[in-house]
């Protein structure tokens, strides 16, 4: 089949100090193909991509683009060669307008001045091609992450790319937005572009890609046509283990007479959510289902005091409580792993040890420091218990992979022995092994009497773990379902009901 | 934890390069003046004299302020008001050092107010002004550089108002001790500075305060969500910086036994920021090194001494100083440090037979 290969990477080898990041990996991409690149964190996906985009220099191997050997020196150079990349974290300038973001660095000029009219016009046309009718003269930060992602793709596509690399583009999108993105991907594919798609969502792999390549521990496992492989086989190949054994989880047992741990009645805050009532028993796990922006995160933030509630009451462990700020919640035995762990969770430049002991230390106050010995004991305990992959506790948290960062944040809160633990999208953007691990930990904590609120966009996760499921829509609680009997279809239909009545509304 | 000596970690540290820079400058000084390191004892004052002592002595005012500035910068901000606070502190001190003009008509060893007021009122006022900065920044969410600009501009005005625009002088001997006295054969400012450094380091590193400052400086939102009271941390840091500026102001005015609202503490904010940066703390906030800052402050003072020694015309002094500082900063820059770290590593690998990652 090599006749119409757009891109060919052969025998790529990259050495990092002490490890072989890639060991003789082959990869090929045809024109007009969507090719998924799969593997767990640390399997070498990003290393391979970074090698292609000129971030890492390869030690051996060749890259051929349309029959010509290339040596990308920098992302800029790769872009000039026709290789564009859109990363998971949108790396555009939030303070510039949409149009400026699309054309920055290559502004069309007229009479020695920037031709704003053309910029606006072309930006509008480009966004229309993505079926987005948005005001391109608004700053990028005005729009949701999904739209920002689209703008990033629009920019990449407009640079006459031959190859488009999408690195986890869907991890912050909801279903509709994913469909929108897929539509665009199909159009680009029809135009003959080669697309490399990296994701942790296996359903999406099967929905969109033509071929897939699996990496494991820096080795090539193989390339398959999508029709050749089943989901179960794929997972087995990726992690080298059977999927059923890793997802062998059991829902938490809640005694019928278990006391109420948390009772929130009619809580709300302007611009956040309205009139939410929740009860949570000791040792129970409830799931929050709903689309992005349905009020899941807002409710969690209200409960934890990250935003201040203006109406309603809360009872914690049978006592009326008034939580004004996260510190109050911490002192009353609550814990919260935020949705955007990069922005709101990790303290990037501090070590794993410091990150793990942070909340415990905050509860003690800075005048009663944990000794280095105690900090090391905490860190070592949780590094082992959660299986955090690191050589030692002094490594900066910012240098860990997403899954391991999430485990450190989880450890930070587990170390405080919380009564109520709120987890907002704890499994987003991490590989399937780490996902299963985090769900197992969650349920284990329930077994120890901790009450857990679990927020996730992945319904199968919610259904697998929850005792009860709260469905949110348009910033309101619309249903409360029993976890045992609930199905994905039921949740989806409840969410869709609202979409039908409120349909046609622009984003 | 055991740690093997590792050249590349050492070469990557900015503090290492600050030490190298200081050593180079001292070497040049020694070359120009062979008796540069000479220290002599003066029995009449009971003090040691010498260039090295003088450098440390004269760096006191900046070192003390830079202790606070280190924490401010670690939080990701800057405090421009410190120089003006030095002037305020001096003005208040001299105000309380007035004497009864109906009895004496020349300055002398007398004062109407108790000496305790001379010491404490300036410090309290400067602390309050620091709190004002902290209030604007923590509660008002105003960028530190803007918030502290207010007191930078109006601080000297306040000092002028307090002294009716006049320059007072005094000869009150207990006050003289602060800037010109001695203890354990050393000039008093060195002793005061040593005590300040020790107390700040103890406060910051023996409690969890330093970690909290770093956490807030790196990611304020995540710190808040982890239960850290970020506002309180900001309040404490700015109040502390105000307090330290007050001490610095007392030393400064005691040296000249006068107040000088226009020139006291002039450009101290820039020197303090520079000391912090040379000491290896990044302006973007986060990890900081207090001892690096001390070194930075001494380097700045050594450069000034060097300038005097070369006999450079006074109008060229600033330019000369700038050139040396530029060299120091380049020595500390990321590419240079990495270059040396890599070379060191390569050498170590050769020495060990080439088998260490």
Assign residue A190 the CATH number of its domain: 3.40.50.300
Contacts of A372 in chain B (CB under 8 A): none
In a domain, A474, yes or no: yes
Show Cβ contacts of residue B125 under 8 Å, excluding neighbours closer than 6 positions.
B88, B89, B92, B246
In a domain, B330, yes or no: no
In which domain, by residue range, is A491 found?
Answer: 256-333+418-507
Residues A124 and A273 in one domain: no
In a domain, B242, yes or no: yes
Residues A239 and A200 in one domain: yes
In a domain, B45, yes or no: no
The mean pLDDT of chain A is: 82
Show Cβ contacts of residue B276 under 8 Å, excluding neighbours closer than 6 positions.
B66, B69, B70, B73, B288, B293, B296
Count, residues in chain A? 507
Residues A73 and A200 in one domain: yes
Is the pTM here over 0.90, yes or no? no
In a domain, B353, yes or no: no
For residue B282, give the chain A residue with the closest CA. A349
Q: Are B64 and B178 in contact (CB under 8 A)?
A: no
Q: pLDDT at position A17, please?
A: 65
d(CA A166, CA A209): 12
A295 and chain B: CB distance < 8 Å anywhere? no
Cβ–Cβ of A348/B218 closer than 8 Å?
A: yes
Q: pLDDT: is A93 or A245 the higher one?
A: A93
Where do we find the tokens 């072309």?
Answer: A122
Alpha carbon of B105 to those of B110, B166, B260: distances in Å? 11, 16, 21
Question: Checking DSSP bridges between strand A334-337 and strand B47-50, what pairing results, if any?
Answer: unpaired
- The residue out of A194, A219, A246 marking a domain boundary is A246
In a domain, A338, yes or no: no
Total domains in chain A come to: 3
In a domain, A251, yes or no: no
Q: pLDDT at position B347, please?
A: 58
Show Cβ contacts of residue B220 under 8 Å, excluding neighbours closer than 6 positions.
B76, B230
Q: pLDDT at position A183, please?
A: 84
Q: Give chain B's contact residues with A (Cβ, < 8 Å).
A: 206-209, 211-212, 214-215, 218-219, 221-229, 286-287, 357
Tokens of A430: 């991490």
For residue B212, give the chain A residue with the closest CA. A366
Residues A372 and A228 in one domain: no
Contacts of A326 in chain B (CB under 8 A): 224-227
A396 pairs with which residues across the strands? A351
Residues A317 and A446 in one domain: yes
- The residue out of A212, A246, A280 marking a domain boundary is A246
3-state secondary structure of B312: coil
Q: pLDDT at position B87, please?
A: 92
Which residue of B208, B224, B287 is in closest CB contact with A369?
Answer: B208
**pLDDT grade for A172, boundaries at 50, 70 and 90:** low
Q: pLDDT at position B346, please?
A: 58
Backbone phi, psi, residue A143, to 5° = -100, 165
Rounded to an integer, the average pLDDT of A122-126 is 83
Residues A401 and A504 in one domain: no
Contacts of B212 in chain A (CB under 8 A): 361-362, 366
Residues A177 and A233 in one domain: yes
In a domain, B166, yes or no: yes
Of A456, A351, A340, nearest in space to A412 by CA: A351
Q: Are A438 and A406 in contact (CB under 8 A)?
A: yes
Residues A47 and A97 in one domain: yes
B111-118 LR contacts (CB < 8 Å, sep 24+): B111/B170, B111/B172, B115/B172, B115/B174, B115/B175, B118/B93, B118/B175
In a domain, A373, yes or no: yes
Question: Checking DSSP bridges between strand B39-42 and strand A476-482, what pairing results, if any?
Answer: unpaired
Residue to mutate among A347, A354, A406, A417, with most B CBs inside 10 A, is: A347
**pLDDT grade for A180, boundaries at 50, 70 and 90:** confident
Q: What is the pLDDT along chain B (357 residues), one digit of tens a residue?
A: 444 556 666 666 777 777 877 888 888 877 877 777 777 877 777 787 888 888 889 899 999 999 999 999 999 889 999 999 999 999 998 888 876 666 767 766 777 777 788 889 999 999 999 999 999 998 888 889 999 999 998 988 898 888 888 888 888 888 888 888 888 888 889 999 999 999 999 999 888 899 999 999 888 888 988 889 888 999 999 999 999 999 999 999 999 888 888 888 888 988 899 889 888 888 878 889 898 899 889 988 888 877 777 777 777 777 877 887 787 777 777 777 777 766 665 555 555 544 433
Q: pLDDT at position B71, please?
A: 94
Which residue of B209, B221, B287 is in closest CB contact with A349?
Answer: B287
Q: pLDDT at position B2, please?
A: 43
Cβ–Cβ of B222/A330 closer than 8 Å?
A: no
Contacts of A17 in chain B (CB under 8 A): 357
Residues A413 and A471 in one domain: no
Total domains in chain B come to: 1
Q: pLDDT at position A1, please?
A: 43
């Amino acid at each position: 089949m090599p006749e119409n290969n757009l891109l060919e990477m052969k025998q790529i080898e990259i050495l990092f100090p002490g490890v072989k990041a890639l060991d003789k990996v082959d990869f090929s991409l045809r024109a007009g193909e969507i090719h998924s690149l799969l593997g767990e964190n640390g399997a070498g996906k990003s290393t391979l991509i970074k090698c292609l985009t000129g971030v890492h220099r390869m030690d051996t191997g060749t890259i051929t683009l349309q029959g010509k050997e290339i040596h990308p020196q920098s992302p800029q150079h790769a872009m000039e060669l026709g290789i564009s990349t859109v990363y998971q974290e949108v790396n555009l300038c939030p303070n510039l307008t949409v149009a400026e973001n699309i054309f920055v660095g290559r502004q069309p000029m007229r009479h020695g001045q920037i031709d704003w009219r053309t910029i606006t016009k072309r930006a509008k046309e480009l966004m229309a091609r993505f079926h987005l009718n948005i005001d391109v003269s608004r700053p990028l930060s005005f729009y949701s992450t999904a739209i920002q992602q689209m703008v990033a793709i629009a920019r990449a596509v407009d640079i006459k790319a031959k190859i488009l690399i999408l690195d986890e583009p869907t991890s912050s999108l909801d279903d509709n937005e994913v469909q929108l993105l897929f539509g665009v991907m199909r159009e680009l594919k029809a135009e003959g572009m080669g697309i490399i798609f990296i994701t942790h969502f296996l359903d999406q792999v099967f929905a969109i890609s033509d071929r897939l390549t699996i990496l494991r521990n820096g080795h090539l496992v193989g390339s398959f046509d999508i029709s050749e492989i089943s989901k179960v086989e794929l997972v087995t190949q990726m992690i080298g283990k059977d999927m059923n054994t890793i997802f062998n989880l059991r829902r938490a047992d809640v005694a019928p007479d278990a006391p109420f741990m948390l009772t929130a009645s009619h809580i709300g805050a302007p611009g956040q959510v309205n009139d939410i009532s929740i009860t949570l028993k000791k040792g129970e796990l409830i799931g929050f289902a709903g689309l992005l922006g349905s009020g899941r995160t807002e409710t969690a933030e209200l409960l934890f005091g990250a935003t201040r509630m203006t109406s309603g009451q809360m009872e914690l462990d049978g006592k009326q409580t008034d939580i004004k700020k996260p510190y109050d919640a911490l002192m009353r035995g609550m814990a919260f792993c935020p949705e955007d762990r990069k922005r709101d969770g990790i303290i990037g430049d501090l070590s794993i040890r410091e990150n793990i002991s942070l909340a415990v230390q905050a509860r003690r106050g800075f005048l009663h420091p944990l000794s280095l010995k105690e900090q090391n004991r905490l860190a070592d305990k949780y590094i082992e218990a959660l299986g955090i992959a690191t050589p030692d506790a002094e490594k900066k948290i910012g240098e860990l992979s997403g899954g391991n960062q999430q485990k450190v944040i989880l450890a930070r809160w587990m170390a405080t022995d919380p009564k109520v633990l709120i987890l907002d999208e704890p499994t987003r953007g991490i590989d399937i092994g780490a996902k299963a691990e985090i769900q197992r930990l969650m349920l284990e904590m329930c077994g120890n009497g901790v009450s857990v609120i679990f927020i996730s966009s992945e319904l199968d996760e919610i259904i697998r773990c929850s005792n009860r499921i709260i469905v949110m829509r348009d910033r309101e609680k619309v249903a409360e379902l029993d976890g045992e009997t609930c199905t994905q279809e039921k949740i989806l239909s409840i969410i869709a009901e609202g979409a039908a009545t409120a349909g046609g509304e622009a984003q | 934890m055991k740690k093997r000596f590792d050249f590349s970690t050492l070469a990557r540290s900015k503090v290492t390069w600050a030490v190298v820079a200081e050593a180079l400058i001292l070497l040049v000084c020694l070359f120009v003046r062979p008796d540069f390191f000479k220290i002599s004892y003066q029995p009449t004052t009971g003090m040691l004299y010498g260039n090295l002592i003088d450098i440390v002595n004269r760096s006191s005012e900046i070192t003390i302020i830079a202790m606070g500035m280190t924490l401010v910068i670690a939080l990701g901000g800057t405090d421009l008001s410190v120089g003006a606070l030095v002037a305020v502190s001096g003005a208040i001190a001299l105000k309380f050092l007035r004497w009864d003009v109906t009895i004496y008509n020349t300055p002398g060893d007398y004062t109407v107010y108790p000496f305790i007021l001379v010491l404490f009122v300036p410090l309290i006022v400067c602390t309050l002004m620091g709190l004002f900065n902290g209030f604007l920044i923590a509660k008002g969410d105003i960028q530190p550089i803007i918030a502290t600009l207010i007191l930078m501009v109006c601080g000297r005005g306040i000092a002028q108002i307090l002294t009716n625009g006049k320059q007072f002088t005094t000869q009150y001997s207990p006050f003289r001790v602060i800037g010109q006295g001695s203890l354990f054969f050393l000039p008093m400012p060195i002793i005061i500075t040593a005590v300040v450094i020790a107390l700040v380091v103890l406060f910051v590193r023996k409690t969890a305060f330093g970690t909290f400052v770093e956490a807030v400086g790196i990611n304020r939102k995540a710190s808040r969500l982890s239960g850290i009271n970020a506002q309180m941390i900001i309040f404490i840091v700015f109040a502390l910086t105000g307090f330290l500026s007050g001490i610095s102001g007392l030393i400064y005015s005691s040296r000249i036994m006068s107040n000088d609202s226009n020139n006291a503490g002039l450009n101290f904010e820039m020197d303090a920021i520079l000391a912090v940066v040379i000491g290896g703390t990044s302006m973007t906030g986060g990890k900081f090194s207090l001892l690096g800052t001390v070194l930075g402050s001494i380097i700045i003072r050594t450069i000034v001494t060097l300038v005097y020694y070369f006999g450079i015309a006074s109008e060229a002094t600033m330019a000369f100083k700038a050139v040396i500082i530029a060299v120091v900063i380049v020595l500390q820059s990321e590419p240079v440090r990495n270059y040396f770290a890599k070379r060191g590593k390569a050498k170590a690998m050769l020495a060990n037979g080439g088998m260490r990652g």
